[in-house]
């Protein structure tokens, strides 16, 4: 009787999977659910054009929420799109990635709350077999790494109000280089700048973008009662987006190498304390692997599907 019950349950599970397959947009879907509705969402949308047909698709969704809110939205989106997610990510499994920031606060109690939410989001994502492409402290770190390296043991603040208690484990750059934690391409003379200022400064080193303005949100635009705000907004509307700029002058392979260095340098340190670090490169690498797989397949080259571990 027990074996018959198991057989019925197995058939029901198989039937449910088949039902979901019939209602899916793509045979295999890589769903990216982002904290930000603008930069992050658009960044991952650019990868969708590499895939044609109904075999494989990249879908990017912005939420306007943070941490657990992003994971909860990912659960909703996965269910709505009838995605089939398995822990072993086998050949019939879809993929869900959640993208959010550590998002520190200069207020102690508020920061403790953000840390708890960040840690909870990591756990909740794992419970649903989602992968996490977090950034500590902001997604802009991933963009900055396309242009220059950063020192692993020197936290980068999100804004000028944040004051970090910096504990350097090793202040000798030669030692950092020997350990592989520094690629020698840190050219910023003021590493204490907030992440948005550092990104803007790194972009301005390129002749074509010497006057580029990067504003994360309207709260960072001067509001001194003069015409400065209007002038800045006008220039922002007329210039390239940050994604277009990074695509133009950035080096994705270097960014991946630098991000990997940061993650390794923070080995053993909780993700919520590992500033600066980002795992966005893991998601980008997985997408690139799929792009290469389908390129090879279109040429008639038989190749194993990308690793799903």
Domain count, the chain: 2
Residues 227 and 293 in one domain: no
By residue range, what is the domain housing residue 183? 140-272
First to last CA, the chain: 36
> What whole-number distance in Å separates Cα of residue 276 and Cα of residue 134?
11
Note the pTM of the prediction, 2 decimals: 0.80
Residues 163 and 256 in one domain: yes
pLDDT digits (tens, 9 = 90+) for 186-220: 444 455 678 998 999 999 999 999 989 887 765 55
In a domain, 290, yes or no: yes
In a domain, 289, yes or no: yes
* Residue 24 backbone zone (phi > 0: left; psi -120 to 50: alpha; other: beta): beta
In a domain, 308, yes or no: no
- Half-sphere CA count of 32, side-chain side, radius 13 A: 26
pLDDT digits (tens, 9 = 90+) for 32-80: 999 999 999 999 999 999 998 788 999 999 999 999 999 999 999 999 9
Coil/strand/helix, residue 88 = coil
């Amino acid at each position: 009787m027990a074996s018959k019950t198991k057989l019925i349950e197995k058939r029901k599970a198989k039937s449910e999977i088949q039902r979901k397959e019939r209602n899916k947009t793509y045979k295999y879907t890589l769903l990216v659910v982002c904290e930000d509705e603008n930069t992050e969402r658009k960044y991952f949308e650019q990868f969708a054009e590499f895939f044609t047909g109904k075999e494989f698709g990249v879908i990017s969704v912005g939420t306007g929420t943070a941490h657990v809110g992003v994971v909860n939205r990912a659960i909703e989106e996965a269910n709505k799109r009838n995605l089939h997610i398995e822990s072993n990510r086998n050949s019939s499994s879809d993929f869900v990635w959640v993208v959010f920031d550590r998002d520190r606060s200069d207020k102690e109690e508020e920061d403790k709350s953000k840390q708890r939410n960040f840690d909870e989001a990591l756990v909740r994502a794992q419970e649903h077999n989602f992968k996490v492409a977090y950034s500590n402290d902001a997604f802009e770190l991933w963009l900055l790494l396309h242009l220059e390296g950063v020192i692993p043991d020197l936290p980068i603040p999100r804004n000028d109000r944040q004051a970090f208690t910096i504990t350097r484990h090793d202040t000798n750059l030669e030692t950092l280089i020997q350990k592989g934690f520094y690629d020698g391409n840190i050219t910023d003379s003021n590493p204490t700048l907030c992440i948005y200022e550092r990104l803007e400064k790194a972009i301005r080193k390129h002749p074509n973008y010497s006057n580029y303005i990067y504003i994360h949100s309207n709260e960072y635009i001067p509001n001194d009662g003069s015409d400065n705000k209007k002038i800045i907004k006008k220039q922002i509307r007329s210039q390239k987006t940050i994604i277009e700029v990074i695509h133009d002058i950035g080096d994705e392979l270097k960014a991946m190498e630098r991000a990997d260095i940061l993650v390794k340098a923070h080995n053993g340190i909780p993700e919520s304390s590992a500033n600066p670090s980002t795992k966005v490169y893991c998601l980008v690498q997985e997408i690139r692997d799929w792009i290469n797989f389908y390129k090879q397949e279109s040429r008639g080259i038989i190749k194993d599907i990308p690793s799903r571990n």
